[in-house]
Amino acid sequence: MKVISTEYSQILGARISQRLGVGLVDVRFSKFPDGELYLRTGAIDEEMIVVGSVTGSDALVQLLLLIDACSESENRLVIPYMGYARQDKQFKPGEPLSARAIAQAVANGVRCICTVNIHDEDVMRHFGLPTVNVSLGKDIGAYLKSEFSNPIILAPDDGARYFAEKIAESGNWEFDHLEKTRISGELVRMDPKNLRTAGRDVVIVDDIISTGGTIAAAAVMLYEQGAKSVHAACVHGVFTGGAYTHLAAAGIKSVICSDTIERACSEVSAAGIVSKALSEC
């Protein structure tokens, strides 16, 4: 068995190989003058673990090429971040169900698939293969436990409340979610539904931080309500459109994510939980 990864998941791929105690295949990536992607792998094994986050078009094509390069092997696929998983419904006539299209494409040539905090687990059915989705809630909670003594864990909305609860269990902390109140046509206020945050360290948690707009706006209001400090944590740090700067400018003291998308603030690794899950895949 060996591990192989796209260049978008090279750090996580190396960590998974170390966890499993198996070889890591060297891959060289380049582009042709017309922009087409090219890769060439080192020696592969009869059984391969292919690791690749789908963070954009190039990442997707690299993953497809890598799976094809391992076509003579029995392959297990790890998708740490599947960006198209959020496009899981057809809201208007003529729209593609993008999550289904991507799922069916990457499933060709693999025997099973492992994802990490996929945005909607209903997407898993589109793979048409045995699948397992793991959560980094406990791992993020363990990291926060090393940094804070008694924070409030806060979800940005009711939909993320379950994720916040799982993180809060790590330290037996209080948790809550933000509730929006529309004051006027343009003015919206966000407050914790049940808990007071005055004088407390607050960590806003979510599976994905994309633009960071909601979290930044919430941080400003939490400081107005007397919060001691505000921090942000997520599994997938997309950080599009200068989101990290936007969060820092709003007064958020620290931002952490995992290595499902490899960032400078990737303080939590998915390698351990993925390595364990692969035994079930």
Catalytic residues: 180
Nearest Cα neighbor of 263 from 51, 86, 80 is: 80
What is the Cα–Cα distance from 79 to 67, expressed in whole angstroms?
12
Pure H helices in 27-125: 57-69, 98-107
Rg (CA), the chain: 20
What is the Cα–Cα distance from 147 to 141, expressed in whole angstroms?
10
State how far Cα 173 lies from the chain centre.
23
**3-state DSSP call for residue 136?**
coil
Beta-bridge mates of residue 40: 28
The structure tokens 């406990």 sit at 138
Nearest Cα neighbor of 37 from 47, 27, 50, 45 is: 27
118: amino acid identity, one letter: I
What is the Cα–Cα distance from 144 to 239, expressed in whole angstroms?
20
| Angle, CA 261 vertex, CA 19 and CA 60 arms, to 5° | 100
**3-state DSSP call for residue 226?**
coil
